[in-house]
Amino acid sequence: MSLLENQYDLIKGSRAAVFRFLEKEVKNDVFIPVAAFNNNTIAATLVHIVNTYLSWAGNFAMKMDRTFYNEQGFSSLTEVKKLFEDADRIIEQFLDKFAEEYEQLVANYKSGNRYVEATILAVFTHMTTHEFHHKGQIMSMCRLLGHTPPDTDIIRF
């Protein structure tokens, strides 16, 4: 297994800790808009994370033509959680194709007309740090909704 595959397994473990907490403690509050976050919801933020994996690994690096999920189009946490299975499949394909050539340069258009060149490692780093950035926001949203979040880091103490 490559280093990037190992890294992604750790990320999925951290994500599982987030979902355990959301399922056990937060429940349907994931659909409550949080004023401090532009009235965004936890569920919409999770869908945004999935869409970012589809965008960068799928559409940018592997030149797929994946459509994005509607960030407001889900009514259960189970539905949202299943989206990550799609993201995981895309990342598995991405890593199968590129993990041993992580310094390979990939280039494509983003947002229609913006030409971007980046290494596979840079794309992978962007996607995973993006997830952790929003994971931190999700934990803050939980706290604002009255739920004390657990430790969800890769190494949980």
SS3 state at 1: coil
SS3 state at 41: coil
CATH of the domain at 119: 1.20.120.450
pLDDT along the chain (157 residues), means of 10: 90 97 98 98 98 97 96 94 98 93 92 90 97 98 97 83
Whole-number pLDDT of residue 104: 94
Token pair 């007309």 is found at 113
For residue 116, what are the contacts with CB-CB under 8 A and spacing of at least 6?
A: 60, 107, 108, 109, 110
The domain tally of the chain equals 1
Whole-number pLDDT of residue 157: 64
Does residue 64 belong to any structural domain of this protein? yes
Does residue 84 belong to any structural domain of this protein? yes
Does residue 152 belong to any structural domain of this protein? no
Whole-number pLDDT of residue 112: 76
Whole-number pLDDT of residue 154: 83
Extract the tokens encoding 18. 């987030």
Prediction pTM value = 0.95
Does residue 25 belong to any structural domain of this protein? yes
Domain containing 108: what range? 3-144
